[in-house]
Amino acid sequence: MSNIVAIVGRPNVGKSTLFNRLVQRRDAIVDSVSGVTRDRHYGKSDWNGKEFSVIDTGGYAVGSDDIFEEEIRKQVDLAIDEADVIVFVVDVEEGITPMDTEVANLLRKVKKPIFMVVNKVDNSMREDDALEFYNLGLGEFFTISSINGSGTGDLLDAVVKDLEDDIVVQDELPRFAVVGRPNAGKSSFINALIGVERNIVTNIAGTTRDSIDTKYNRFGFEFNLVDTAGIRKKSKVKEDLEFYSVMRAVRSIEHCDVAIIVVDATRGFEGQDENIFWLAEKNKKGVVILVNKWDLVEKETNTMRDFEAQVRNEIAPFTDVPIIFTSVLTKQRIFKAIETAVEVYENRKKRIPTSKLNETMLDIVKTYTPPAYKGKFVKIKYCMQLPTPTPQFVFFCNLPQYIREPYKRFVENKLRELYDFKGVPIVIYFRQK
């Protein structure tokens, strides 16, 4: 379970530069997924062994430099609602502006950890200039230069101290988050699940700090459904539903085992759907894609096949994902959706014994060896599944640096073929023995 750190502030103070600095440290190492992050406003970071998510609220702003104060206020409100820690960035070159004062006024009322960061402080003269920011009434601040990184270490030390330790949820039940863009049919899907026979056992509050899990016991399955944006609308964010849905999806996805992504068939698989998909993939969650409102689409012979092909094309290279066409209105294939989510959950927990893995995979990698590189031949000697909560494998070989992306994908596809990891991201490492 991860904490969320939101970066707020008016335009051009260096929020995005700070964001990039926070996430790239980790992305460079961990993101072995080809195509890196596809959503540049959301990323994972890690400092002193604590993992957290970073959101650059400015990235979602409508308009550019001449942005309205109203827009900033909305972003700050969202950050206050959704984040665990808020980093407020100001600019030493421009000093305190009316908009900074406005943001500070909002933040002073908040009961969450707030870190004020004075950016662009790259010499001692500017250290002195930074003193005026005490006037904002937020107490101590950090001086940094997000371009060259000075001061960010001290800031991160303080931020991670304030993050809650990862909570281990004792409940062994699968946790499914229903996510997707506004109006795709998330609420209707949940209501269709609840409404048929009201076998709700309990509402467990507080397993995730702010969303409510509902425990279901139906279809012969027991599972927890993580409440998302569809259930809890807040009046003040009507105007900014896109940003809100991403923020909500971040929260829900991080606290689930399987993300059920609801897509509106009448709109197709759009950019926002893709962002939510990559969010789940990045967090190593299981994924089921639900194409809803299929009853409203005019059909020809290959309509379903073409739609599915288009979705798989958008989510490549991770295409081993179940896609189910439903109509929540007519309750068509709702049972299938839950059944599939349970299968994906089981796949995500799957452990392959080392002896069995070596028996099958070593034959394959001997027959199809990695292409020689600069006249050097890679020999893979041994493989095992790592003891991690999600499927990760390590292959030991003599020259791991010469293994290229296409070969990694080949190995991944073989693992999927042999052991059925449908709907689950797999991580593969090549290491020297």
340 is in an annotated binding site: no
The structure tokens listed for 334 are 């709702």
120 is in an annotated binding site: yes
Residue type, 276: I
187 is in an annotated binding site: yes
293 is in an annotated binding site: yes
The DSSP letter of residue 208 is S
327 is in an annotated binding site: no
195 is in an annotated binding site: no
59 is in an annotated binding site: yes
268 is in an annotated binding site: no
203 is in an annotated binding site: no
Using DSSP bridges, classify how beta strands 221-226 and 213-218 pair: parallel, antiparallel or unpaired.
antiparallel
355 is in an annotated binding site: no
**What CA–CA distance (Å, rounded) separates 115 from 142?**
8
121 is in an annotated binding site: yes
228 is in an annotated binding site: yes
Using DSSP bridges, classify how beta strands 392-397 and 427-432 pair: parallel, antiparallel or unpaired.
parallel
The SS3 of residue 239 is helix
148 is in an annotated binding site: no
35 is in an annotated binding site: no
14 is in an annotated binding site: yes
182 is in an annotated binding site: yes
Question: Any idea what the Cα angle at residue 51 is, between residues 46 and 57, rounded to 5°?
Answer: 85
15 is in an annotated binding site: yes
58 is in an annotated binding site: yes
* C-alpha separations of 106 from 75, 94, 240 in Å: 11, 20, 18
**What CA–CA distance (Å, rounded) separates 389 from 126?**
47
227 is in an annotated binding site: yes
313 is in an annotated binding site: no
267 is in an annotated binding site: no
134 is in an annotated binding site: no
50 is in an annotated binding site: no
Helix axes 69-82, 98-108, angle to 10 degrees: 30
57 is in an annotated binding site: yes
Neighbour-count burial for 44-55, b at 16+ CB within 10 Å, e otherwise:
bbbbeebbbbbb
288 is in an annotated binding site: no
Q: Are 189 and 328 in contact (CB under 8 A)?
A: yes
Torsion of CA 208, 58, 274, 240, to 10 degrees: 80
423 is in an annotated binding site: no
Choose among 258, 228, 268: nearest CA to 245. Answer: 228
Integer-rounded Cα radius of gyration of the chain? 24
**What CA–CA distance (Å, rounded) separates 174 from 85?**
28
320 is in an annotated binding site: no
**What CA–CA distance (Å, rounded) separates 213 from 225?**
5
295 is in an annotated binding site: yes
32 is in an annotated binding site: no
**What CA–CA distance (Å, rounded) separates 274 from 180?**
10
181 is in an annotated binding site: yes
**What CA–CA distance (Å, rounded) separates 387 from 397?**
20
229 is in an annotated binding site: yes
Q: Are 72 and 99 in contact (CB under 8 A)?
A: yes
Where is the binding site, in residues?
9-16, 56-60, 119-122, 180-187, 227-231, 292-295
Where is the binding site for GTP, in residues?
9-16, 56-60, 119-122, 180-187, 227-231, 292-295
